[in-house]
Amino acid sequence: MAAPLFRKNQSVGELRKSLELFQKLNFFPKIGGTIAVLSGLLLVWLDGWEFVSFWILASLLLYIAIQVIAVGIMGPVMGRLSKELDGFVLTPEDEIPREPGSLLAKANRLYYSASVLGVVLFALMILKP
């Protein structure tokens, strides 16, 4: 999860380590997300369900939205954050400068948005008809 990785009160050294971990963890939604969507579509097709069912359409749209946020938007924001940090001469104990701090806040908003959508998706999977 990204929440423990990216906190407001991190030092520069902690944030750099968090960015390294994010790059490694970001591999899973790219590969796993694609497999999850394709296997879900295959299961729907094999079982004869119709794609007009509300929970199937809503689930697919939510999952795609989560993927877009987590991979398509948050990944580039984290890349920019990393480049911003590299532009400063900082020791690992320094506080995060203002410019990278605003990118960190944006990344946190994106993370929490994807998390809320994930909770709704999880509820749909439990409450499906």
Burial 84-94 (b: 16+ CB within 10 A, else e): bbeeeebeeee
DSSP secondary-structure letter at 95?
B
CB of 114 closer than 8 Å to CB of 66: yes
Pairwise CA distance, residues 58 & 124, whole Å: 8
Tell me which residue of 50, 6, 48 sits closest to 26, measured CA to CA: 6
* Whole-angstrom distance, CA of residue 22 vs CA of residue 43: 31
Q: What is the pLDDT along the chain (129 residues), one digit of tens a residue?
A: 444 566 667 777 778 888 888 878 777 777 877 787 787 778 777 777 665 677 777 888 888 898 899 888 988 998 888 888 887 766 667 777 777 888 888 888 898 898 899 889 888 878 776
**Against a cut of 0.85, is the pTM above it?**
no
What CA–CA distance (Å, rounded) separates 100 from 77? Answer: 10
